[in-house]
Structure 1
């Protein structure tokens, strides 16, 4: 695609859709094993504390990978690193389905996570470089929608495939999806022919470390970790609760409940409009309050219909909050925006890895409401932290410029 063609509005729209799709399918891999935790526990005769690592290990290695691929793309190009990563993901993903040993599955899920990290942080930086200012928030909103929707779609895909075939086919089919996605990116996303940084990966990682000297960024990252941690915690706990003796939903019914969460995710598309009408801090704080209150209510109510409605409202609150926080981080990051966004992705998905572990640990106390209540109060802490971020915002932007 030539530079002249890129400036066409329809081409920007196509690029946005490709990025949305790619973010959706790549990040779906993180969530594929959440509905399979109890199955793996039974099938391989291990405790749920072991089976949950098929999900958490992906997120942890994904987070580690994000530290390195952003700097690599600084040197070699955004598109090139994304394409190489997707090629490797296409190869590794079907291999996971070939093994019937829980420890091999966990190991290969770690490899999957490390490879999948080639897309998400780089896609965010790609948008800041390749899109005009009037389309950046809009496109970021679509990409974030894909990331968040993956939390639902990944679970629905694996539940559906396992219901009609077996868990192994989840990985075979996703391998084919990644092959198609690779060709889409090669064909429709323009190459980023921009000046490249010559600093080494280690220098770039050290530069990331200096960002922790900026108080507002540290507070942003503390809020960051809460987003997917609360989402993963809620869905892990909800799956156990809905299938338990008190509710007794079957796998098909739980699948429908997970799918309804997509309604909440779609609110991420409104975040750009809300930010334009109000401001990033008001939208961030409002979204966190909605998520916190609905999560606490989930721990209190027992009516299944109300529980499902509250789960959708909770997801909507999280969806509204993510884009404003990304905008705040990129503004504070300034000339180090790429490094700041890479760290954002690292910390966001560390939270995703901790969420299922957190939920299982709290459920093991025997108190089913505990994951919702604890995570709800943590999100209230996120509201308080957001107020402090707002207070020190201007000072932090100046401090990053001096780094």
Structure 2
């Protein structure tokens, strides 16, 4: 969980720093927002590489590799002297950080007893989602700028790798057999439930990040304190723990659909555009995402096998963070037209995703 906060937080830590980066390199805020997308797209792409590698070479090896190289890449980000160098180092950071999530989720699905797996997924889901507000609050509260923040974080990835190496029992499970993943991918592509879960994953963090990136862009026009907006959405993320009993009792697809609908309602509330409704939207949206993420993870992990679970979750996390990466630049573009187009677009996509999960839940 601690590793999850550290790794995934890198996607969100730059949201409050866009104005600072724009001033530092004398560029437009729209261009400065690419520091989040550079990390996010490389991060999402890395899942497609490291997910299958975790099937082949073992989960823990990939996790330790990812944490160690993320520490080095984080140092590179702190040393960037030009905006182009900053984008390149952020992309490198995102790519190697991608070794962690699919391997960690697969490890949970394989090592925990079946009755404890939904709770284990909930723990990791809370870490992945809680990283969003906590990373932003951390970055906004620091006065050292992006280089100082990265220098501060780099040692923690190395410490996390050492702690995980000591605490984790190695050799409890052999890596999957070393064969081509082509057949594994084909079996996944023939499963409609997995395909719709992947598609739904794109909408979840797209909506979640759109709220915060959009609020950051609109600024004083909303009359909302951004730190309060971030913090007020943190407690509802604890609903990830309610996802475990919901999944055990009603099934993973029910949990996922409930979360998608709640997230949709939250963004519809935000589109009203008053300070009160935006604050309320943060609460409802966080609650929805807290149920949708573990519900979708459990859907994908449950329909996959040990031989292709890493690959299945790699595509899931790829889709999840592609949505998160698209949100900042699209929010910058849509915010000029007002709150309705800014937040009704992701709301509509979430509703379509819920309908897609419903249509394929028995396949």
> Among residues 59, 62, 74, which one is paired with 1:78 in the alignment?
59
Structure 1's unaligned 5+ residue stretches are: 1-19, 394-403
- Give the whole-Å Cα distance in 2 for the aligned partners of 1:239 and 1:205: 42
Q: 1:44: which partner in 2?
A: 25
Give the direction of change, closer, same or farther, for the CA distance of 1:278–1:91 in structure 2 (3 Å limit). same
Shift of 1:340: 1.2
Q: 2:113: which partner in 1?
A: 132
Does structure 1 residue 292 correspond to structure 2 residue 292? no
- Give the whole-Å Cα distance in 1 for the aligned partners of 2:163 and 2:22: 37
Does structure 1 residue 283 correspond to structure 2 residue 264? no
> Among residues 345, 349, 360, which one is paired with 1:374 in the alignment?
345
Asked if structure 2 preserves the Cα contact closer than 8 Å seen for 1:287 and 1:320, the reply is: yes
- Give the whole-Å Cα distance in 2 for the aligned partners of 1:171 and 1:296: 35
Q: 1:57: which partner in 2?
A: 38
- Give the whole-Å Cα distance in 1 for the aligned partners of 2:185 and 2:171: 23
Moved over 4 A (4+): none
> Among residues 308, 313, 321, which one is paired with 2:292 in the alignment?
321
- Give the whole-Å Cα distance in 1 for the aligned partners of 2:309 and 2:222: 48
Asked if structure 1 preserves the Cα contact closer than 8 Å seen for 2:54 and 2:310, the reply is: no
Shift of 1:198: 4.2
Does structure 1 residue 244 correspond to structure 2 residue 220? yes
Q: Deviations over 1:63-87 (max 9, x none)?
A: 1111121222233221111112111
Does structure 1 residue 217 correspond to structure 2 residue 194? yes
Secondary structure class of the residue paired with 1:334: coil
> Among residues 27, 48, 68, which one is paired with 2:8 in the alignment?
27
Q: Deviations over 1:345-367 (max 9, x none)?
A: 11111111111122122124x32
> Among residues 158, 181, 189, which one is paired with 2:168 in the alignment?
189
Shift of 1:209: 5.2
- Give the whole-Å Cα distance in 2 for the aligned partners of 1:208 and 1:155: 36
> Among residues 96, 112, 122, which one is paired with 2:93 in the alignment?
112
Shift of 1:136: 1.1
Does structure 1 residue 342 correspond to structure 2 residue 310? no
Shift of 1:230: 1.0
Shift of 1:264: 2.0
What is the number of equivalent residue pairs in this alignment? 362
TM-score, normalization: structure 2? 0.94
Q: Which has the larger radius of gyration?
A: 1
- Give the whole-Å Cα distance in 2 for the aligned partners of 1:130 and 1:273: 19
TM-score, normalization: structure 1? 0.85
Does structure 1 residue 180 correspond to structure 2 residue 159? yes
Bigger Cα displacement from structure 2, 309-318 vs 110-119: 309-318
